[in-house]
């Protein structure tokens, strides 16, 4: 009625919608990136629960520990790993490449494929399958002058007694992960070969435990630690393992979210401005309404109702746009050239919270213009042309 | 009543010691030159402004005792307004404009029937569903008269109702107001500076320099007793 200014109202609705959309886009990108890093760290390096010995290597039988874990209903699989470093060089076209240090990861090829998806990142060749096969990270392969499957590589590892141990391997695969979250800068060999080279028979560096319900990680971790009170085991959930790497990132997300909410505040100011313009342009009509008997309360309700309508439509449209973007990002596994694919999830609580906040802000933003409208004196208002 | 704008040396006495009563069903014309205080007087009677001193009784109610909400409700139920420019809400239809006072009163039951009846009375039945900004100035003023009458008010106050119209349309509007007054027994107080347009009326009050005088002529010399 009084507020029938379609252009202005569409503007106000758009302001609310865009505010919500910005929050959704920020969330999809930054939370998606955060969750993707956690996902990849879990898939490639730590599992859902990561077990190490606080002092040194795990001396208990890896088979016994794996069996112990796999009896827990929440556990899908467990696998041992052993890490060290090695000097590596390759001979390419008769030329020996420069020798440099790289991390070496020893895996149990059968068990590892059940806890980690690193074997799925082999883009050429296949995963470790024998005692002398070696998988090279794409960065290492590049640094070695373009190592290919079938090439021969020599690793030099210093054993526990300080003696150099040399062994020649055949490259059976090359691994590459989007965003470099995997083992692109390492080489992967059979865990028993690494144990032999280090002279650490039966020792394990870490255990990766994969759960069928990752939300039970804390429960599994606590149960494990309680079951081995006399050992120096240290167990971490993936969130704890990733904490150091992601602490800064999380602050970044908080900052970006804040920027999103500031954007929403700007939308509120836009609504105030648009409704103030509406009140100004409708001053004469407000005067007429007051003259023919409308109370201040009636005028207040008309403009507040406008805020409610703007908030409701804006929140609805913004949420629909935001959800559409989220669905698109989730379905297309959104990623940019070579970056890791975003791990997009639907956060219904956050979606509802954002929509309600935008709705409430629109109403709050309409209070002042509505109050100003009620303060117009009919006689003064009607003089406005 | 008196009405003074401003204070001290800059004070302007818009109305001075004005006192008169209007009988039910009377068609009262308030005339005077520009700036004489006619519109100020109408604003006081219409409770759009308050006198500095004095009281206004309408239907036996001392309007000075009413608070803001009561004044609004009183304006809605007891007073009808016809302004110089029709002041219809442009985004509403003619019918919706006429129904507006009833909607404010929240007595919607017979609002449509009554409004259509009034629109028929002012010859706008065919324009009832047109947007208010799609009709001519004369039609808008006729709709405004219908709006002023829809709540069956005690008094209809018209401020220069023909001021924005050409002479032929103005004549139609005057005749319409007079015929509605007669047909409905409605009290009209009409402010105008074009006395001749209205022909015979029940009563005339002339305002000069803020003072009110019965009849068409104000005394050339006003005696002021201090």
Tell me the per-residue pLDDT of A166-206, one tens digit each, with 9 for 90 and over. 999 999 999 998 877 889 999 999 999 999 999 999 899 99
Q: Is the pLDDT of residue A385 over 70?
A: no
Mean pLDDT of A356-376: 92
Domain coverage including residue A313: 6-40+246-383
Query: Measured between CB atoms, does B100 come within 8 Å of chain A?
Result: yes
pLDDT in tens, B158-170: 998 888 778 888 8
Q: Is the pLDDT of residue A4 over 60?
A: no
CB pairs A-B closer than 8 Å: 54
CB A316 within 8 A of CB A344: no
* A83 and A34 in a common domain: no
As for the ipTM of the complex, it is 0.88
Tell me, rounded to whole angstroms, the distance of Cα A86 from its chain centroid: 32
Q: Is the pLDDT of residue A98 over 80?
A: no
Q: Is the pLDDT of residue A110 over 80?
A: yes
Of A346 and A220, more confident: A220
Query: Measured between CB atoms, does B73 come within 8 Å of chain A?
Result: yes
Confidence of residue A74 (pLDDT cuts 50, 70, 90): very high
Q: Is the pLDDT of residue B226 over 70?
A: no
Query: Measured between CB atoms, does A162 come within 8 Å of chain B?
Result: no
- A294 and B87 in contact by Cβ < 8 A? no
Give me the count of residues in chain A. Answer: 385
Mean pLDDT of B142-152: 90
Is residue B220 a part of any domain in this protein? Answer: no
State the nearest Cα–Cα gap between B1 and chain A, in angstroms. 19
Q: Which residues on chain B are in Cβ contact (under 8 Å) with A289?
A: 89, 100, 104
* A198 and A92 in a common domain: yes
Q: Is the pLDDT of residue B225 over 60?
A: no
Is residue A241 a part of any domain in this protein? Answer: no
Distances (CA, A) of B13 to A305, A384, B16, B123: 42, 24, 6, 42
From the list A29, A70, A18, the residue with the least C-alpha distance to A265 is A18
Is residue A68 a part of any domain in this protein? Answer: no
3-class DSSP string for chain B: CEEEECCHHHCEEEECCCCCCCCCCCEEEEECCCCCCHHHHHHHHCCCCCCCECCCEECCEEHHHCCHHHHHHHHHHHEEEECCCCCCCCCCEHHHHHHHHHHHHCCCCCHHHHHHHHHHHCCCHHHCCCEHHHCCHHHHHHHHHHHHHCCCCCEEEEECCCCCCCHHHHHHHHHHHHHHHHHHCCEEEEEECCHHHHCCCCEEEEEECCEEEECCCCCCCCCCCC
Confidence of residue B100 (pLDDT cuts 50, 70, 90): very high
Any idea what DSSP says for residue A44?
I
Query: Measured between CB atoms, does B83 come within 8 Å of chain A?
Result: yes
Is residue A54 a part of any domain in this protein? Answer: no
Check which CATH number belongs to the domain holding B169 and give it.
Answer: 3.40.50.300
Q: Is the pLDDT of residue A31 over 90?
A: no
Mean pLDDT of A347-373: 92
For A298, name the nearest residue in chain B, comparing CA atoms only: B104
* A172 and A284 in a common domain: no
Query: Measured between CB atoms, does A294 come within 8 Å of chain B?
Result: yes
Which of A288, A295, A379 has its CB closest to that of B87? A288
* A254 and A165 in a common domain: no
* A99 and A18 in a common domain: no
* A90 and A23 in a common domain: no
* Beta partners for residue A167, in sequence order: A155
**Which of the residue ranges A50-64, B98-112, B125-139 would you say has the lowest mean pLDDT?**
B98-112
Is residue A221 a part of any domain in this protein? Answer: no
Q: How many domains, in total, are found in chain A? A: 2
CA gap A283, A60 in Å, rounded: 84
From the list B150, B138, B224, the residue with the least C-alpha distance to B175 is B138
Is residue B136 a part of any domain in this protein? Answer: yes
Q: Is the pLDDT of residue A384 over 70?
A: no
* A195 and A148 in a common domain: yes
Is residue B173 a part of any domain in this protein? Answer: yes
Task: Retrieve residue B117's tokens.
Answer: 């009846």
Mean pLDDT of A355-384: 88
pLDDT at B224: 55
* A364 and A291 in a common domain: yes
3-state DSSP call for residue A298? helix
pLDDT at A366: 92
From the list A65, A33, A42, the residue with the least C-alpha distance to A217 is A42
Is residue A217 a part of any domain in this protein? Answer: no
Is residue B80 a part of any domain in this protein? Answer: yes
Is residue A27 a part of any domain in this protein? Answer: yes
Which of B46, B72, B83 has its CB closest to that of A295? B72
Task: Retrieve residue A54's tokens.
Answer: 């606080």
Domain coverage including residue B43: 3-7+23-214
Domain termination residue (choose one: A161, A183, A208)? A208
Confidence of residue A106 (pLDDT cuts 50, 70, 90): very high
**Which of the residue ranges A41-45, A51-55, A262-266, A309-313 would you say has the lowest mean pLDDT?**
A262-266
Which of B72, B77, B92 has its CB closest to that of A294? B72
pLDDT in tens, B3-29: 999 888 888 889 999 998 999 999 999
Which of B49, B91, B104 has its CB closest to that of A292? B104
Outline where chain A has alpha helix (H). Answer: 6-26, 32-40, 62-70, 109-115, 138-143, 191-198, 217-227, 238-281, 283-291, 296-331, 348-374, 378-383
Planar angle of CA A180, A185, A189, nearest 5 degrees: 120
Q: How many domains, in total, are found in chain B? A: 1
State the nearest Cα–Cα gap between B101 and chain A, in angstroms. 6
């Amino acid at each position: 009625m009084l507020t029938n200014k379609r252009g202005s109202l569409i503007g106000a609705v758009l302001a609310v919608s865009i505010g919500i959309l910005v929050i959704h886009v920020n969330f999809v990108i930054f939370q998606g990136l955060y969750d993707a890093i956690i996902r990849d760290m879990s898939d490639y390096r730590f599992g859902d629960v990561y077990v190490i010995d606080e002092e040194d290597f795990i001396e208990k039988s890896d088979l016994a520990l794996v069996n112990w874990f796999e009896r827990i209903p929440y556990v899908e699989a467990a696998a041992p790993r052993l890490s060290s470093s090695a000097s590596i060089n390759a001979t390419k076209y008769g030329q020996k490449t420069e020798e440099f240090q790289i991390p070496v990861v020893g895996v149990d090829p059968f068990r590892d494929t059940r806890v980690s998806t690193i074997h799925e990142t082999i883009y050429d060749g296949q995963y470790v399958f024998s005692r002398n096969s070696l998988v090279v990270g794409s960065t290492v392969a590049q640094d070695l002058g373009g190592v290919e499957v079938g090439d021969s590589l020599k690793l030099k590892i210093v054993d526990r007694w300080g003696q150099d141990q040399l062994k020649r391997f055949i490259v059976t695969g090359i691994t590459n992960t989007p965003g470099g979250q995997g083992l692109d800068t390492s080489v992967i060999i059979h865990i028993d070969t690494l144990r032999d080279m280090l002279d650490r028979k039966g020792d394990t560096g870490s255990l990766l435990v994969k759960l069928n319900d990752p939300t039970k990680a804390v429960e599994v971790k606590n149960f494990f630690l309680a079951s081995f009170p006399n050992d120096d085991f240290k167990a971490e959930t993936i969130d704890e393992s990733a904490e150091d790497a992601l602490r800064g990132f999380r602050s970044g997300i908080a900052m970006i979210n804040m920027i999103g909410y500031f954007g929403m505040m700007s939308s509120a100011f836009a609504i105030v401005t648009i409704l103030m313009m509406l009140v100004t342009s409708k001053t004469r009509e407000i005067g007429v309404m007051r003259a023919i008997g409308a109370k201040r309360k009636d005028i207040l309700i008309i403009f507040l109702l406008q805020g409610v309508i703007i908030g409701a439509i804006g929140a609805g449209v913004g949420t629909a746009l935001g959800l559409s973007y989220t669905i698109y990002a989730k379905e297309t596994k959104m990623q940019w050239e070579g970056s890791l694919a975003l791990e997009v999830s639907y956060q219904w609580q956050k979606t509802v919270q954002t929509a309600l906040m935008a709705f409430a802000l629109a109403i709050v933003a309409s209070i002042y213009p509505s109050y100003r409208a009620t303060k117009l004196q009919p006689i003064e208002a009607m003089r406005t042309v | 009543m008196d009405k003074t704008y401003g204070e001290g040396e800059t004070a302007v006495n818009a109305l001075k010691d004005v006192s008169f009563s209007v009988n039910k069903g009377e068609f009262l014309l308030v005339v005077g030159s520009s700036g004489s205080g006619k519109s100020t007087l109408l604003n006081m009677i219409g409770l759009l402004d308050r006198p500095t001193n004095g009281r206004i009784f309408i239907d036996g109610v001392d309007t000075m005792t009413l608070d803001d909400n009561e004044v609004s409700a009183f304006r809605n139920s007891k007073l009808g307004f016809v302004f110089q420019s029709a002041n219809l809400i442009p985004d509403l239809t003619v019918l919706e404009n006429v129904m507006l006072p009833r909607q404010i009163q929240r007595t919607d039951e017979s609002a449509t029937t009554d409004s259509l009846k009034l629109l028929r009375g002012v010859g706008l039945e065919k324009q009832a569903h047109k947007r208010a900004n799609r009709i001519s100035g004369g039609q808008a003023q006729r709709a405004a008269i219908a709006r002023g009458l829809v709540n069956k008010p005690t008094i209809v106050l018209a401020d220069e109702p023909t001021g924005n119209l050409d002479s032929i349309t103005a004549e139609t509007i005057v005749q319409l107001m007079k015929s509605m007054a007669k047909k409905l027994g409605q009290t009209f107080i009409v402010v105008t500076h074009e006395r001749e347009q209205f022909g015979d009326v029940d009563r005339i009050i002339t305002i000069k320099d803020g003072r009110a005088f019965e009849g068409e002529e104000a005394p050339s010399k006003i005696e002021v007793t201090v």
